[in-house]
Structure 1
Amino acid sequence: MEEPVVKLEGLTFTYAGSETPALKDINLTVRPGEFVTVTGPSGCGKSTLALCLTGFIPHSFDGVMEGKVIIGGRDTRTCTAGELAGIAGLVQQDPESQLCTLNVLDEVAFGPENICLPPDIIKERVKWALSAVGLSGFTDRLVHTLSGGEKQRLAIASVLAMRPQLLILDEPTANLDPRGCREVLSVIKKLHQEQKTAIIVIEHRLQYLLPFSDRLILMEEGRITADLQPQRFHHYYPTFKVKVDQEQCSAGSSFSHDVVEGPAISEKPLLAVEDITVKYEQKIALKRISFSLYPGETAAVMGDNGSGKTTLLHVLLGICKPDQGRVFFDGEDITGAGVSRRARDMGLTFQNPNHQLFERTVIKEARLHSHFLAADLEQSLKRVEQLLERFDLSSYREQVPFALSLGEKKRLTFISVLAYQPPILLLDEPLVGQDMERLELLLGAINEHRRQGGITIMICHEPPVVKCCCQRVLFFEDGNLIFDGPTEEAFNELARRGRDEYLPQSCFAPEAVKGAMMGS
């Protein structure tokens, strides 16, 4: 039998300043060619495990590590992360944190160059890796001009180019559109089959992974609680197997029985966009976009990575100035208004939560928006306390926000915006990094906002969630708004256009979605 590429014995790790271990007595063996999926609640230690597997722990993070971590026959205590680079490759939760060059070509070539591969081999690997993730035509693009999903693909390509014995991907589909998700996982599957690479994927979106996973590892509170074959997974998380009730989830059904069309509530829209166009250098990011939203509407913004979705949210808040067009709030032209003026009425959560974390503790971060924007500060600060408890972050109140997991950071930024109650929520992929329980909490809060007459504009790559909780869909393609209308009509139109990857899947936690939207 081949020697294992991963062997963990009694691994326990406690971060400096923490009393509770992030990992507790982990024992794990992974052999060459195995495909292992790791899942579990947000903050249970999955990303910490990935850092241990690549030698970043114990060398780059302060804390106490006990037990043994052997990767490719090397003990990580005596072998640095740099020395493990050709053996183990990690794509982190936050892809921007591992991008270090200015353009796409240099980024993918960086790793192979640093292990002194011949130029012709480097060229071949770069070409293959970019093609594998759908970025073949991006070689000269500057990294900072890429969308979040494109940056994630680039991070994956840079690790693929190293051809490691062990490939670790920490939520690799988090910022990918459905098509990109399928393409990237297809490449990973091919790499696994043809080169016998050992692969460990940390994910919440399991519907794409279960068909070709050899093992499924469940984690909770820093421990491995189950190590099983994928066909047995439904005994532990049955919600993944329940089919979506098409009648209940469809527009006009019992899940939206109290939703009233906007014009019936108000004769004028709360938000209107007219003929918005945005250009980035030589690229047109948005092309003459117009739409209106009314009180009580939740609208999903969908489309491929790089289609203009995030740019739209930035235009609405005033971060990005349009080259032409106008934005209206409650009938007032706010096109010339600054961010600080608009932020009283629109609360934005960024795709990457690290871009809006400023304070040294969780509690100060959660209160930050309220101090500047709340109409009633006392009530807003009370809501902060309630929301921290509701979203399972109260125990972290004195911790540094950057020490939280990706899912926890996303919830923290959501709390800071929700607490001061802006009429419009602008949410850029708010569901990233959330387990099923937290998904239900987030959707429940969005539904409460809708019931109170608020508008939510949510970039979302999860069609079943859109089907159950959104009344409108704005679908973008290459900067064009190609569809704006009721959710059910949107899915019919996407089916007609052959965009099957954007149609609801039956295996994405429908019970959690339905429970949240019913107010349970």
Structure 2
Amino acid sequence: MTTTLTVKNLTFAYTDNQPPVLENINFKLALNTFNLLVGPSGCGKSTFFKLLAGLYPEYGGKITAGDILLNDVSVNNIVPFERAKYLAMLFQNPSRQFAMRTVEEQITFALENIQLDRSKIKQRVAWVLSELHLENFTKRELLTLSGGEQQRVALATILALDSQIILLDEPFANVDPVARKQLLHDLKKLQLKHHKTIFITDHDFSNYTGLVDNLYKIENKQLTKGSTKILDKIIFSKQTQQNFGSLHNLTWNNLSLSIHDKILLQPNTLYLPKGQVGLLSGANGVGKSTFFGALTHQTTYEGDIFYQQKLSTKYKRKAWAQIIGLVFQNSTDQFVRLTIAEELNLSKKHSLHPEYWTDSRINDAYQLLNLTNLSKQHIVYQLSGGQQRKLQVLSMLIMAQPVLLLDEPLASLDSTSLNNVLQLIIEVTQALQLSTLIISHQLVEVRPQIDYELEITDKTLHLRRTTNET
């Protein structure tokens, strides 16, 4: 049976008293093609995909006009396990799709949910792990995987469903450049060899040249078709000088990391300079997030960590949390209040630099991050992934701990938003003399703007003196 997906005169709003997010959209997805959807953060890309997948309006919002038809039937009238046989979606946050303990159990569980014959499940699991080069992950526990590894497993779970149409919402946000190229190659092979229809949202145009059949963009609540020529205009910058500062508060001595007897980092001695922004780079799974976990005392480590020459273990847990701030990889894990205003007010209340974070400065930052179109009474969990990311970073910058670690704060941001967020991080770091370290796979955009780079390769933490093009 040929699968069709058609959007007719669609208008969607989150509430009756808010203007529509998408308005009068007409669209038909061409089968057996590779498609890319672009647009600024908050324009409605993720919302559009959730509508196509039948998640909205069942789990949020309201279709005020039009409909979405899967095989000429309203997508919302098709039960989920039947819908998944034709159309599947990968979310920005892969952990939201996990319900089991290990990789094998997760993929098996997904196949059981679509009622695949039990005699075929084991064969299907083996096939998809082979297709994505994940054979060694079969028995791995999902919670021990890095963000990029979780993304690859989530993709494997989607591919295992064998749906004709695959929607991927920012699937490479936490994936290193090498894995990104491999995943794009795998997806193109699925389109050409297995006749799948691929539809991706992405803010990073790297590596798409020659792959994309159709490019679409959302602007001003409308969906239009654009030219794929914009994918050929990526400008690669190169940083020519490093400036690793000598002033510091946070140091570590013979710090080493391991998980389940697997060594991630051999003994290392270094520090984070004050007033500078650094980049922590390395392939998925090398231990970047685990390194952050050690510095924040959330994961075990060997060696010693010091702040102002005092051993970190001599600080009480609350005191250490006031020294080191951590921006989580998943934005929603950071929020503790319901609305934007409540979240910002809580950060301001506990800020270590209230003299700097005046109402005027917070409003300027709010404007720089292009959040002024949002009422501060907006529910944080109803924001787009990019908007959540920007609010999360702003909230933590207002807290102003002397050491700030940011785990993928730029993922799922469009180019303008990425540069504005990075600009704000740099500005605050310099003004308050923070020690800031960022994990990011957006190397092309980030490297020219940071002060230094630490790279984990071969279980060793290297200070890079120069950087190269990715």
TM-score, normalization: structure 2? 0.93
Once the two structures are TM-superposed, the CA of residue 379 in structure 1 deviates from its matched residue by 4.0
CA contact (8 A) 2:108 2:125 kept: yes
Match of 1:251 among 236, 241, 264: 241
Alignment RMSD: 2.3
* Residue of structure 1 equivalent to 2:454: 474
Match of 1:408 among 362, 387, 398: 387
Distance in 2 between residues matched to 1:446 and 1:41, nearest whole Å: 20
The 3 A distance-change label for structure 1 pair 431 and 339 is farther
Match of 2:253 among 274, 294, 310: 274
* Residue of structure 2 equivalent to 1:306: 285
Work out whether 1:337 is the aligned partner of 2:329. no
* Residue of structure 1 equivalent to 2:245: 262
CA contact (8 A) 2:12 2:61 kept: no
Deviations 1:276-311 (A, max 9, x none): 233433434443232123223322111111111011
Q: Partner of 1:57: helix, strand, or coil?
A: coil
CA contact (8 A) 2:268 2:461 kept: no
Work out whether 1:448 is the aligned partner of 2:427. yes
Deviations 1:85-104 (A, max 9, x none): 10001001111111111211
* Residue of structure 1 equivalent to 2:370: 392
* Residue of structure 2 equivalent to 1:108: 107
Name which structure has the greater RCO, CA cutoff 8 Å, separation 6+: 2
Q: Please identify, of 62-71 and 146-155, the stretch whose mean Cα deviation from structure 2 is larger.
A: 62-71
CA contact (8 A) 1:467 1:487 kept: no
Match of 1:350 among 313, 322, 328: 328
* Residue of structure 2 equivalent to 1:228: 226
CA contact (8 A) 1:216 1:229 kept: yes
One-letter amino acid of the counterpart of residue 334, structure 2: Q
Deviations 1:458-487 (A, max 9, x none): 101122234302232211136x22422323
* Residue of structure 1 equivalent to 2:463: 484
The 3 A distance-change label for structure 1 pair 55 and 326 is same
The 3 A distance-change label for structure 1 pair 201 and 106 is same
The 3 A distance-change label for structure 1 pair 205 and 9 is same
Q: Partner of 1:312: helix, strand, or coil?
A: helix
* Residue of structure 2 equivalent to 1:516: none
Distance in 1 between residues matched to 2:42 and 2:19, nearest whole Å: 12
Once the two structures are TM-superposed, the CA of residue 245 in structure 1 deviates from its matched residue by 5.2
Deviations 1:263-288 (A, max 9, x none): 3xx4xx33211112334334344432
CA contact (8 A) 1:56 1:80 kept: no
Q: Partner of 2:394: helix, strand, or coil?
A: helix
The 3 A distance-change label for structure 1 pair 345 and 370 is farther
Q: Please identify, of 163-172 and 177-186, the stretch whose mean Cα deviation from structure 2 is larger.
A: 177-186
CA contact (8 A) 1:474 1:485 kept: yes
* Residue of structure 2 equivalent to 1:457: 437
The 3 A distance-change label for structure 1 pair 391 and 89 is same
Equivalences for 1:141-180 in 2 at 5 Å? Answer: 141-180=140-179
CA contact (8 A) 1:391 1:441 kept: yes
Distance in 2 between residues matched to 1:152 and 1:396, nearest whole Å: 32
CA contact (8 A) 1:5 1:165 kept: no
Deviations 1:356-411 (A, max 9, x none): 11101011112323323424378455543332222122423111111111111111
Once the two structures are TM-superposed, the CA of residue 40 in structure 1 deviates from its matched residue by 0.3
One-letter amino acid of the counterpart of residue 329, structure 1: Y
Once the two structures are TM-superposed, the CA of residue 120 in structure 1 deviates from its matched residue by 4.2
Q: Partner of 2:399: helix, strand, or coil?
A: coil
Deviations 1:104-158 (A, max 9, x none): 1011122222233233422222112223333211111222222211111111110
Percent identity among equivalent residues?
28
CA contact (8 A) 2:5 2:69 kept: yes
Deviations 1:211-266 (A, max 9, x none): 21111001123211x303412x37xxxxx7263454xx4216xxxxxxx6513xx4
CA contact (8 A) 2:81 2:113 kept: no
TM-score, normalization: structure 1? 0.84
Distance in 1 between residues matched to 2:380 and 2:390, nearest whole Å: 11
* Residue of structure 2 equivalent to 1:241: 233
Q: Partner of 2:77: helix, strand, or coil?
A: coil
> Structure 1: where are the runs of 5+ without partners?
235-239, 253-259, 492-502, 505-520
* Residue of structure 2 equivalent to 1:67: 66
CA contact (8 A) 1:302 1:459 kept: yes
Q: Partner of 1:66: helix, strand, or coil?
A: strand
Q: Partner of 1:419: helix, strand, or coil?
A: helix
Q: Please identify, of 445-454 and 97-106, the stretch whose mean Cα deviation from structure 2 is larger.
A: 445-454
Equivalences for 1:418-429 in 2 at 5 Å? Answer: 418-429=397-408
Deviations 1:322-362 (A, max 9, x none): 2x211122333223324421333332211111111110101
CA contact (8 A) 2:237 2:444 kept: no
CA contact (8 A) 2:4 2:29 kept: yes
The 3 A distance-change label for structure 1 pair 197 and 437 is same
One-letter amino acid of the counterpart of residue 330, structure 2: N
CA contact (8 A) 1:3 1:31 kept: no
CA contact (8 A) 1:262 1:295 kept: yes
The 3 A distance-change label for structure 1 pair 148 and 190 is same
Give the length in aligned residue pairs.
Answer: 468
One-letter amino acid of the counterpart of residue 467, structure 1: R
Work out whether 1:200 is the aligned partner of 2:199. yes
> Structure 2: where are the runs of 5+ without partners?
none
Equivalences for 1:22-37 in 2 at 5 Å? Answer: 22-37=21-36
Distance in 2 between residues matched to 1:95 and 1:186, nearest whole Å: 20
CA contact (8 A) 2:350 2:399 kept: no
Q: Please identify, of 151-160 and 419-428, the stretch whose mean Cα deviation from structure 2 is larger.
A: 419-428
Once the two structures are TM-superposed, the CA of residue 78 in structure 1 deviates from its matched residue by 2.1
CA contact (8 A) 2:411 2:440 kept: no
Q: Partner of 2:115: helix, strand, or coil?
A: coil
Distance in 1 between residues matched to 2:67 and 2:259, nearest whole Å: 50
Q: Partner of 2:92: helix, strand, or coil?
A: coil
Distance in 2 between residues matched to 1:198 and 1:292, nearest whole Å: 48
One-letter amino acid of the counterpart of residue 262, structure 1: G
Once the two structures are TM-superposed, the CA of residue 55 in structure 1 deviates from its matched residue by 1.2
Equivalences for 1:206-221 in 2 at 5 Å? Answer: 206-221=205-220
CA contact (8 A) 2:205 2:234 kept: no
